[in-house]
Each structure stands twice: as structure tokens, then as C-alpha cells.
């Protein structure tokens, strides 16, 4: 089984050494282990660090920040906003796909898996990486934020330009961790059904990212997902 940090790929482990060796991370590890013993926790241990496995540190071009994993069975698999293949896309993801279609003309994807984005350098990072089944935000405030803030800071320290996408006020608070003199931050309201009509639709994040990457001399992202 090994410790939680052993599941993190080597490259990220090296970059995040300080936070992984901190007492906060040790406390977080104990909390998550206890929760897994007592409750059903998502995502599975295997999927906990999928985002880091699919997007090596040196490949990160875009960081898309989510808040909390999906809390229904079979949904969360360690990538913000993404659901496992074959699972019906939740409402926020449906809205992301609507904007994807109107922004870059991509057809409606066949399912809600965002793995192809991750494989191209889009780090799909949630601020909190675990959740108790059926209880949103149940693992907030237990140390994940300390870890993921360090991830955001380390991505901001990369020498190449990175585009950060911050949707909603929770994500936008993390702007303080980013060197905005070197990186582009794209902000919009959250794609959830409660707020999407207030400025998420029409925010054109996907073409915005590619414009910024091209300007920085980097390869743009092919946002089209298998339909």
C-alpha cells in the first residue's frame, strides 16, 4: 500500500518535497486514511493523483483549477471537472462542453473524460483532492489546500509561460499564488448551473488559452474530445 506520497509520480515528488515532508501533509495523510477506513471516499487511491500522472511537471502548459472532487459513485477519477469514461457528465461539465462548442466549434464529446486534455499539458487540479461519498466539501480544511497551494506556486515558478484558468470566486482567491507578471490568468464565473449564465458562457477560455500559448511560442491545445 505504501504512503500516500509514494503514489505521487517521482517528478512531482521532487518538486513538492518540502510540502510532502511537512507536518501538515502527515496530518492530512492520517486524516484521509482514517476517512477511507470509516467511509466511502472518492476518488479511489489508484486515481488520487491521476492529474499528476497524466501531466508531468515539465509538461504543464495550462492549470485549470477546480474545488472539490465529484461525490457520486463512479464519477471522480482525480482530474478536476472530469468524470470517468461512460459516466454522464454532471451539470458544470455539460456547461463547459457548451462553451467549448460555441468557443472553438468542438462537437459534443462522447463522454465526460478530460484525459486527452491532461495528456496535452492541462493540469486539471482540484484544491481538495478527496471527498466523502455524498458529502460535498467534507474534506475541505484538512490539509489538501496546503498541498495544492504549493502545487500552484511550483507551477508558477516554471520558467515557461503557463495559462491559469480560475473559474468562480473560490478559484480566483488563488491568484495571489501566481506570478501574474509572467503568466496569464483567465478568470470567469463558475460553470455551475447557478452562475454559468452570469458570464461563463461567452468567456471563450479555450481560444483564450491557445492565443496566449501561441504568443508565448508554445504549442496550442487541441481541445476537441472524441465525440
Catalytic residues: 68
Contact 38, 8 (CB under 8 A): no
Q: ∠ CA 62-65-71 to the nearest 5 degrees?
A: 135
* Burial annotation 12-39 (CB, 10 A radius, 16+ → b, else e): bbebbeebbebebbeebeeebeebeeee
145 forms bridges with which residues in the sheet?
none
Q: Please spell the DSSP secondary structure of 85-134, one letter per residue.
A: TTSPPPHHHHHHHHHHHHHH-PPPPSSS--HHHHTTTEEEEESS--EETT
Q: Which of 196, 197, 224 is nearest to 210 (CA)?
A: 224
Amino acid at each position: 500500500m505504501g504512503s500516500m506520497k509514494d503514489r505521487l509520480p517521482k517528478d512531482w515528488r521532487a518538486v513538492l518535497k518540502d510540502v510532502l515532508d511537512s507536518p501538515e501533509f502527515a496530518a492530512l495523510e492520517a486524516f484521509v486514511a482514517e476517512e477511507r477506513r470509516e467511509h466511502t471516499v472518492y476518488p479511489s487511491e489508484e486515481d488520487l493523483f491521476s492529474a499528476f500522472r497524466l501531466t508531468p511537471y515539465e509538461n504543464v502548459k495550462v492549470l485549470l483549477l477546480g474545488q472539490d472532487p465529484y461525490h457520486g459513485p463512479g464519477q471522480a477519477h482525480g482530474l478536476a471537472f472530469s468524470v470517468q469514461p461512460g459516466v454522464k457528465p454532471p451539470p458544470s461539465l455539460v456547461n463547459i462542453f457548451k462553451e467549448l462548442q460555441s468557443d472553438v466549434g468542438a462537437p459534443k464529446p462522447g463522454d465526460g473524460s478530460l484525459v486527452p486534455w491532461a495528456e496535452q499539458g492541462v493540469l486539471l487540479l482540484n484544491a481538495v483532492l478527496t471527498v466523502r461519498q455524498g458529502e460535498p466539501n467534507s474534506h475541505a480544511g484538512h490539509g489538501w489546500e496546503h498541498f495544492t497551494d504549493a502545487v500552484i506556486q511550483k507551477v508558477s515558478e516554471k520558467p515557461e509561460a503557463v495559462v491559469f484558468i480560475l473559474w468562480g470566486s473560490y478559484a480566483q482567491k488563488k491568484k495571489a499564488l501566481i506570478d501574474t507578471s509572467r503568466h496569464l490568468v483567465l478568470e470567469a464565473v463558475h460553470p455551475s448551473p447557478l452562475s454559468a449564465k452570469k458570464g461563463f458562457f461567452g468567456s471563450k477560455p479555450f481560444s483564450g488559452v491557445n492565443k496566449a500559448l501561441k504568443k508565448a511560442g508554445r504549442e496550442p491545445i487541441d481541445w476537441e474530445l472524441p465525440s
